[in-house]
Amino acid sequence: MYNIFVRANAVFFYWTTVIFFLSMGCSVTSFYFESNPTVTLQLNKFEELSYVASYNAENALFSLDIDADLTSLFNWNVKQLFVWVSAEYETKTYDKNQVILWDTIVESVDEAHILLKDEKLKYELTSFEKELRNRQINLTLSWDIMPVVGLLKMQGGQSSNVHQINMPQKYVRLPSSHR
Amino acid sequence: RLSADKAGPMDFVGQRLTDRLHQLITAIFGVIGFFYGYVHQRFAFTMYISMIGLGISALLCVPDWPFLNQNPLKWQEAMGDNQEDEDEDVDEPVVQKEKRSGSKPKSKGKNKSNNKSGIRQRRR
């Protein structure tokens, strides 16, 4: 401690040691916590189901009403939530197909209640098997919690109520389609 | 330089004080921040409060404040150029080595007057 640089070094790195122990305490105290998120997903309007020749696949587009109350997921060890809507369906070739249609990042408790009407899909539902006609599709809202201190994929979950959509029997393009 | 009042930017009492003070301040603000952040469930509050502690301890402990230099070392007064004193013990180490070749010294630190190592001792 005889020199100003020695003292500055000591003060700063002692602080980082204190922060280390505080972070460990934060991680430990938030390991087990209960949450009750409530999610409602609904189809707002169906827009189109068509065949795209340029990449030889079927495309489905629609818009959703999303009502997700994720405020109970936040504790002091949550940096942000990654939330997405995924569609799951079965084809003749594969038992399980999952496609992410929409996602968002929730960074604080204030933004955690997602209330969206007529939200267009961010990503189109594209199927290369071309078996989407007359297919039943299950929509689920899921989330990943990114902690402040901890492993990245520590906690995740999904909505318990699954919304079902039935694809039309023939290709259709409604005037509400935004493409 | 040896006869100056303040030998350096901070004396040993000040160094010990800064060492303990910065640790105490940072630790206390860390604990306060931990509980405040836990109550409000926001780790950002913990970080901010601990950074306030860092700032206060840096302010009090890092710069060379005069209040930390209040106990300077009391150096001895400089000796004058006395030829007798300097040449006094020069011959002794050579003579003493021949005597002590086989025997071990009995007590190492007890007799200060019997100085066989060649360190010059100043007579008061």
What ipTM, to 2 d.p.? 0.78
The residues, ordered by sequence, that sit 6+ positions from A18 with a Cβ below 8 Å of its Cβ are B26, B27, B30, B50
Give the pLDDT mean for A146-152. Answer: 89
* β-bridge mates for residue A61, sequence order: A48
Do the Cβ atoms of A83 and A115 come closer than 8 Å?
Answer: no
**Is residue B38 in a domain?**
yes
**Is residue B68 in a domain?**
no
For the cut 70, the answer to whether the pLDDT of residue B96 exceeds it is no
Tell me what the pLDDT averaged over chain B comes to: 75
**Interface test mutation site (partner B, options A11, A14, A74, A77, max chain B beta carbons within 10 A):** A11
How many domains, chain B? Answer: 1
Q: Worst-scoring range by mean pLDDT, A32-41, A79-88, A98-107, B113-122?
A: B113-122
Higher pLDDT, B103 or A96: A96
**Is residue B76 in a domain?**
no
Give the domain A35-178 fold.
Answer: Immunoglobulin-like (2.60.40)
From the list B19, B40, B50, which residue is nearest A15 (CB)? B50
pLDDT at A175: 81
Confidence of residue B2 (pLDDT cuts 50, 70, 90): very low
How many interface pairs between A and B have CB atoms less than 8 angstroms apart? Answer: 72
What is the per-residue pLDDT across A4-61, written as a single tens digit (0 to 9) for each?
999 999 999 999 999 999 999 999 998 888 888 888 888 888 888 888 889 899 999 9
The residues, ordered by sequence, that sit 6+ positions from A95 with a Cβ below 8 Å of its Cβ are none
**Is residue B43 in a domain?**
yes
Of A156, A177, A166, residue with least CA distance to A87: A166
For the cut 60, the answer to whether the pLDDT of residue A142 exceeds it is yes
Confidence of residue B109 (pLDDT cuts 50, 70, 90): very low
Chain B CB contacts of A3 below 8 Å: 9
Q: How far apart are CA B78 and CA B32, in angstroms?
A: 52
pLDDT at B9: 79
Q: How far apart are CA A98 and CA A100, in angstroms?
A: 7
Chain B nearest C-alpha distance from A11 (Å): 6
The residues, ordered by sequence, that sit 6+ positions from A173 with a Cβ below 8 Å of its Cβ are A47, A48, A49, A50
Q: Worst-scoring range by mean pLDDT, A49-53, B13-17, B78-82?
A: B78-82
Tell me what the pLDDT averaged over chain A comes to: 90
Cβ atoms within 10 Å, residue B97: 11
What is the per-residue pLDDT across B20-73, written as a single tens digit (0 to 9) for each?
999 999 999 999 999 999 999 999 999 999 999 999 999 999 998 888 888 888
From the list B41, B53, B54, which residue is nearest A75 (CB)? B41
**Is residue B53 in a domain?**
yes
For the cut 70, the answer to whether the pLDDT of residue B111 exceeds it is no
**Is residue B56 in a domain?**
yes
Cβ atoms within 10 Å, residue B104: 6
**Is residue B44 in a domain?**
yes
Sign of the C-alpha dihedral, residues B54, B59, B63, B66?
Answer: negative
Chain B CB contacts of A15 below 8 Å: 26, 50, 53-54, 57
Range of the domain at B47: 30-63
Confidence of residue A69 (pLDDT cuts 50, 70, 90): very high
Domain boundaries, chain A: 1-32, 35-178
Q: Which residue of B has its CA nearest to A73?
A: B41
